[in-house]
Structure 1
């Protein structure tokens, strides 16, 4: 437990020490803006599984001096396969082809690897763990952040980058709850040697089945396979009424996908998932009427969490952080009203469009019958249809 306490002003308080919060801190510090990050966990270790970074985010990280390519896997290609026998439906190069056309690499990493790279770029004295936010009060000239069992923090401005279950969001936008998509997912990591029959494990793979789909890809040095398996039941289980996740086992997941006739190679992945196993009710956020209130603004999943089906949760948080850091560097903390308004104007429509496409992708992967046939025939046009996501380069207006 950290014994640090604070009873004097900070310039920018970032609530949330995840990928978006750390990226924001890097951007602000690089521009000479003082920032402190407050994380509720007792360290910055990441317990998640894999994360994909498209060029829209790797390009920005490179500009900030963070180069995940040094530790990540660059999938050589992408494959779409049938769920029942693994037949290759369509494939396309990624690797160098992608980098040349999108201006940056497509990478897959363990979330812990990426968080470590980001944390290494933030001075440790600027990160304050064991700070769980319990309240916010806006006072003349500042924002008072109240933390459980900790001294209050008075900041000039505050940014909530604290995820889909954000504690800051209620203060900014009211009681906006995440929305159930109707899908149940489970994820895990599998050592590649346990699944010798898995084709091209370092590639990005989408296995498409009726009402189900699986995404699998190698991470870091390619010795681990990241698995996300998704099922859309006719009726959501009772536990989703009170929680977004519940403890489960690979045995339960294996029985489900075996019963649906899935290929033995995917069953092998499921059977070899290690660590704690949970089933997740997949969630995203409805549009928020406002992204800021006074001296407090939201970013990342706290304001526009997407479903995972376009792999853009981290990417959109990084875009937010880059834009917001640039605007605050230009305007200073005293210019926050214009900075917040411009940030929302620049980011709102793109973030909503990414959310929409993520929902569409979840349905796209799970089509059945003739609709699945039409999907398969249309796959060659996919790179051009989603180019706007990957090739996008954020712009931060310069001072007039």
Structure 2
């Protein structure tokens, strides 16, 4: 039976929302529209690491070639670690899962996700103002009102609108995100702006691990299309009182990052000079890192109806710190899970379908939230000069295996066999 013919409205057209739109097409959700508040589809930030657990899903969608053309070639290692003061090589994590990690600019990932989605399903400049739960006979279960005065009706509303989610607030969650104690600086360096030896080093993923801070360098883009460069991400401990912007993301002087690392190794000084060479105003992005505590319930049912409701996905419900590179990957996993459940559920009990979705996803996303916080502490150590029992290549690889080697499609088939009919499914 399923819910593939219900009017589904997706609020949010970022990476999570667009990943769900691809999942909906793949699974067979037929009546779906996506509403994005911005005037154009775009992503702000530096590089993003899409690991095997998400790449399996994106490849199933048919996006492999599009992604490979926009991402870095296969790298020799998953990550290298270097000492912050000496630049000395400390160790590396081997690539250990297939398909290998893809390093790509966030905007280029969004481009790949947007390409297969019919344009008529995507609506820009639609900031949600309120959500009505209709009670009139014959009315749609929900009416969404946007700030431009337009409205749309829905049977099922999916909140993919990020950590500051308006849909989440509509569900009655008044909790505030928690400051992590860290800010992150994001920028780009062109290979031509580096000395030869440093440029050679940074064709790998390199983490310079310092005292309560670290700088991560990602080779993103494809040399074949001359889009290759280095995404520089600097994680620094700063008191929130020092934040001087009304927003969580602002532009900051590159010298502000340099102040944190001015006594670090020559390679890091090369990176700072490369950032300055490539920035016309000597500034870069700076973001305060917030995260929400996991919540107990991810959805709401329409009173008096068993086939209408509101549900959350991605950062709106399972936001995580970026230290394991899993924010986008978890949204991709949750997207295919929810789309498959909506399409192949055996009856018209949406409450049971939503509960199954939450039961399938919540233990994993809660664990990712917890371990990502721990990973940030390990990467920015009190004792960065030495490897330890918890910080060494083998231990770090073991920490990531359960994430990367998981296959959500297999999990859906196994745990959902009793509740879903996969006769006409692609999974």
Name the TM-score, length of structure 2 as normaliser. 0.84
Answer whether contact 2:39 2:124 (CA < 8 A) is retained.
yes
Aligned to 2:367: 353
Q: Displacement of 1:64 after TM fit? A: 1.4
Name the SS of the counterpart of 2:233 in structure 1. strand
Q: Counterparts of 1:377 and 1:24 in 2: how far apart (Å)?
A: 35
Question: Is residue 55 of structure 2 the alignment partner of residue 61 of structure 1?
Answer: no
Which of 39, 43, 53 matches 1:42?
39
Q: Which piece of structure 1 moves more, 378-387 or 279-288?
A: 378-387
* Partner residue of 2:268 out of 252, 260, 266: 266
Deviations 1:261-299 (CA, angstroms, capped at 9, x unpaired): 211222222333345523211111111121111211110
3-state SS in 1 of match to 2:155: strand
Offset of residue 371 of structure 1: 8.7
Preserved contact between residue 322 and residue 372 of structure 2 (Cα < 8 Å):
yes
- Partner of residue 76, structure 2: 76
Q: In 1, are the aligned partners of 2:11 and 2:34 still within 8 Å (CA)? A: yes
Measured in 2, the distance between the counterparts of 1:380 and 1:104 equals 20
**Corresponding residue to 2:14 among 13, 18, 23:** 18
- Alpha-carbon contact 1:178-1:283 (below 8 Å) kept: yes
Give, in whole Å, the separation in 2 of the partners of 1:357 and 1:10: 37
Does residue 116 in structure 1 map to residue 116 in structure 2?
no
Taking structure 1 as reference, are residues 355 and 302 closer, same or farther at Cα in structure 2, changes over 3 Å only? same
Matched, 1:217 2:224: no
1:292 aligns to 2:299 (yes or no)? yes
Task: Label 1:290 to 1:369 Cα distance change in 2 as closer, same or farther (>3 A).
Answer: same
The change in CA–CA distance for 1:12 and 1:250 in structure 2 (over 3 A counts) is: same
Question: Unaligned regions of 5+ residues in structure 2, if any?
Answer: 302-308, 422-427
Judge conservation of contact 1:239–1:246 (CA < 8 Å) in 2: no
Report the more deviating stretch, 374-383 or 288-297. 374-383
Establish whether residue 138 from structure 1 lines up as the match of residue 142 from structure 2: no
1:153-187 alpha-carbon deviations (Å, 9 max, x no partner): 11110101111111111112411221111011111
CA distance in structure 2 between the partners assigned to 1:53 and 1:243 by the alignment: 27
Question: Structure 1 residues 293 and 225 mapped into 2: Cα distance closer, same or farther (>3 Å)?
Answer: same
Contact 1:89 1:376 in 2 (8 A): no
Are the counterparts in 1 of residues 389 and 395 from structure 2 also a CA contact under 8 Å? no
**Could you say what the CA RMSD is over the residues aligned between the two structures, in angstroms?**
2.2
The 5-angstrom pairing of residues 362-373 of structure 1 reads 362-369=376-383, 372-373=386-387
Whole-angstrom distance in 1 between the partners of 2:175 and 2:109: 29
How many residues in Structure 1 have an aligned counterpart in Structure 2? 383
CA distance 1:204–1:280, shift in 2 (3 Å)? same
Instruction: Give 1:369 shift.
Output: 3.2
Residue of structure 1 equivalent to 2:305: none
Give the C-alpha shift of residue 206 in structure 1. Answer: 1.2
**Which residue of the partner structure matches residue 5 of structure 1?**
none
Asked whether 1:249 is paired with 2:257, we answer no
State the secondary structure of the residue aligned to 1:289.
Answer: coil
CA contact (8 A) 2:105 2:220 kept: yes
Q: Provide the residue aligned with 1:282 in structure 2.
A: 289
Aligned residue for 2:174, secondary structure, equals: coil
> Where does residue 195 of structure 1 map in the other structure?
194
Other-structure match for 1:6: none
- 1:370 Cα deviation (Å)? 8.3
Q: Is 1:237–2:236 an aligned residue pair?
A: no
> Contact 2:211–2:384 at 8 Å: present in 1 too?
no
Offset at residue 43 of structure 1 (A): 1.2
User: Residues 80-229 of structure 1 correspond to what in structure 2 (within 5 A)?
Assistant: 80-94=81-95, 98=96, 102-140=97-135, 141-196=140-195, 197-198=197-198, 199-221=200-222, 223-229=228-234
SS of residue in 2 equivalent to 1:177: coil
Distance 1:369 1:19, change over 3 A: closer
Between the aligned partners of 2:273 and 2:152, the Cα distance in structure 1 is: 47
Q: Aligned partners of 1:53 and 1:203: how far apart in 2?
A: 15
* Deviation at residue 241 of structure 1 after TM alignment: 9.1
- Post-superposition shift, 1:124? 0.5
CA contact (8 A) 1:164 1:302 kept: yes
Normalising to structure 1: TM-score of the pair? 0.90
- Indicate if the aligned counterparts of 1:14 and 1:160 stay in contact, CA closer than 8 A: yes
The SS at the match of 1:116 is: helix
Give the 3-state SS of the residue equivalent to 1:146 in structure 2: strand
